[in-house]
Structure formats: C-alpha cells, structure tokens
Amino acid sequence: MALNILTPSQVQQWKEDGYLLLPNFFSPEESEEMLDEAKRLCDEFDVTDHPMTTFKTQADGEHVGDDYFLSSGDKIRYFLEPSSLATATPSEPSKLLVEPAKSINKIGHALAPLNPIYKKYTLDNPKIVGLAKDLGEQESPRVLQSMIICKQPRIGGIVPCHNDSTFLYTDPPSAIGCWIALEDCTPSNGCLSFLPGSHKAARIASRFVRDPSGKGTTFTDVPGIEKNQENWDEMEGWKEASCPAGTLVLIHGSVMHKSPPNKSDKSRLIYTFHMIEGGNGTIYDEKNWLQPTEEMPFPALF
C-alpha cells in the first residue's frame, strides 16, 4: 500500500523505537494558530467557581480523581499545576499563587471534538488521517483525551516514567499518542524523553481505573498479565526528544517516556490527543477513568 505521510524507513523506525519524531509535520502558520488558541484558552480561564482541581501523576502518590476530572471526557476543563496553589487550611480556602493563565497544568479532555481550531488539526485533518492510515495499526481509530499541556515556566511539574496504555487501557492494548510541539521543546523547558524499544518489552500489567468505591482513581492489575520487573526509569539508553514547534511526536502505547519539570523561564505548550482501536473486537470498558458519553462517544478518525 502506498504511504502518503510516512516513508518506509520512518515506519521501520517507529516499529523499532516505539516513538517517532516528525519535524515540520505542521507548518509554522498551522502550529502558530494552535499556539494562539492555547494562549487564548489560558487567558480566558476564570477561576471563579473552579473546584481547584490540580493534575498530578506521581505513580507512588496521590492521583487526581474528583468529579470535575472524571467527567471531563466530553468537556473543555482546566486542571491546575499543584505548585500554583496554596492548598486550603481549616481557616482559608485554596488560593492561586500566580495569575490564573499561568496556573494551568492542562486543558482537556475533549478539545478535538469541541474546539474548532483543534478539530481542524485533528478530526478534520487529512495529514492526521493519512498518518494513522500509514501506520496501519488501527482499523478504526477513535480519538480521545485531546488536551493542551502547558508545562508552565518555573512551576511546570515532572511527568514521571509511564506508558500510555496503562492510562487508556483497551483489551488488547492499542493506544497511540500524537503529541504536537507548539513551542520549541528542549531539556531545559521539559521536552519528552523516551526509552527506545521499551514498547517491545513492557507488558501492560496494570491499568489506571475509577476506584470501585465510587470515589477517585486507582491502579489495578490486568488479569493474566505477568508484572514487569524492570526499573525502566533507571535503565540506560534514555533519549531526550528535543524538537522545534510544529513537530508531531508519535508515541506507542507501551513505550516508556517521561518529562522533567520546567525550571526555565520559557513555556512549553503542546497539544496532544490519543487514538485507540475502535474496531477489531477491541474493548474499552467502563473501568477506565476516562469515559465517553452517550451524547459524545469517542469520535472516529475515519
């Protein structure tokens, strides 16, 4: 089959490494349009009546999981950077330590269906459709978890080592991430790092789910899958994925990746969405933290 977007050697690289950088996937004008929209959304953030939900992903610590987060699959909602907030005390409610636009960790999780600019660069985008077809991994890709990640200057937090199929679990695992740099990403403002080839070894033995108690989120074992013994984070071979604005980074659902805190004065705004297999008998069940709704099922890419 003819490839439209990827070369055969890029497909080969993707298969070997479990991630692929596609510089200039979007033109400077296209990526600027997405960046301007991200900044506009940040600027219009109104903290009045916001439940002060932060986003944190420490594997060994507390995970976000209030109703504002759990019902965000078909909305555009704002999640705060934990260090932008003085948490509530018995005498004082939580309050922001920085201006609202600079307090945002991420905005999601339904930008692709709901925001016209991000729809144009996702669901209505022939290059994205061509990319998914060239990869040929999914018969019927469904788009979910579309979001802006801000990684704010000086306070943008770490994203610890993880793989995405743990968080967007399907049976069998099928998640693929499309991560788009809207600004230049470097080690100092918190670019991604990958452990190349780890997607071949890492089993999806644990998944992130709604807590059966009805409150919050937790991890649960995937029945029949042997636990990984590797300490991926400490292994040799991690590669930093510095990239200029307009780069699309493809992320296999099993590849281990992470990003450091942003200690620089430069922001690191990106737009990302994921695709899961919607055909082939693949199951996305009601245990997952992120749920489609009757009004808004996860949209099909083609």
Ligand X SMILES: O=C(O)CCC(=O)C(=O)O
- The least CB distance from residue 124 to ligand X, in Å, is 21
**Using the rule CB under 6 A, is 149 a contact of ligand X?**
yes
Residue type for position 146: S
Q: Which of 177, 253, 278, 299 binds ligand X (CB under 6 A)?
A: 177
Q: Which of 110, 123, 128, 159 binds ligand X (CB under 6 A)?
A: 159
Q: Measured from the CB atom, is 265 or 294 closer to ligand X?
A: 265
Q: Measured from the CB atom, is 49 or 60 closer to ligand X?
A: 60
**Using the rule CB under 6 A, is 161 a contact of ligand X?**
no
Which tokens in the block code for residue 80? Answer: 């705060």
Site string for ligand X, 196-235 (x = CB under 6 A): ----------------------------------------
- The least CB distance from residue 149 to ligand X, in Å, is 4
Cα–Cα nearest to 17, from 175, 227, 193: 193
User: Are 265 and 154 a contacting pair, CB within 8 Å?
Assistant: yes
Cα–Cα nearest to 270, from 174, 195, 178: 178
Length of the chain: 302
**Using the rule CB under 6 A, is 257 a contact of ligand X?**
yes
Query: How distant, in Å, are the alpha carbons of 70, 123, 132, 138, 168 from that of 173?
Result: 21, 22, 16, 11, 8
Percent of the chain that is helix, strand, coil (3-state, to 5): 20, 25, 55
Q: Which of 17, 164, 183, 277 binds ligand X (CB under 6 A)?
A: 164
Q: Measured from the CB atom, is 87 or 183 closer to ligand X?
A: 183
Place of tokens 């933290």: 289
Q: Which of 78, 179, 284, 289 binds ligand X (CB under 6 A)?
A: 179
**Using the rule CB under 6 A, is 152 a contact of ligand X?**
no
User: Are 68 and 53 a contacting pair, CB within 8 Å?
Assistant: yes
**Using the rule CB under 6 A, is 18 a contact of ligand X?**
no
Task: Give, for 149, the enclosing helix (H) or strand (E).
Answer: strand 141-149
Q: Measured from the CB atom, is 85 or 182 closer to ligand X?
A: 182
In angstroms, rounded to a whole number, what is the distance separating the alpha carbons of residues 271 and 233?
Answer: 25
Q: Measured from the CB atom, is 63 or 94 closer to ligand X?
A: 63
Place of tokens 């307009």: 246
Q: Which of 54, 170, 259, 267 binds ligand X (CB under 6 A)?
A: 259
- The least CB distance from residue 179 to ligand X, in Å, is 5
In angstroms, rounded to a whole number, what is the distance separating the alpha carbons of residues 208 and 16?
Answer: 26
Question: In the complex, which residues of this chain contact ligand X (CB under 6 A)?
Answer: 149, 151, 159, 164, 177, 179, 192, 251, 257, 259, 270, 272
